[in-house]
Amino acid sequence: MYMQLNITTDYAIRIVLYLATSQGKSTSKELPENLCIP
């Protein structure tokens, strides 16, 4: 059994993990480009 997340929650988790592991600052334009999200 696994848990399904809605797409908004999935994007939020990706962004939080990206920001937690990235060095320095990221702009709102860089996030979707680097994470392949709209």
Could you give the number of structural domains in the chain?
1
Q: Which domain holds residue 27?
A: 1-37
Which pLDDT score, from 0 to 100, does residue 2 have? 83
- pLDDT (tens, 9 = 90+) of the chain, 38 residues, equals 788 889 999 999 999 999 999 988 889 999 999 999 98
What pTM did the predictor assign? 0.75
Between CA 9 and CA 26 the distance in angstroms is 20
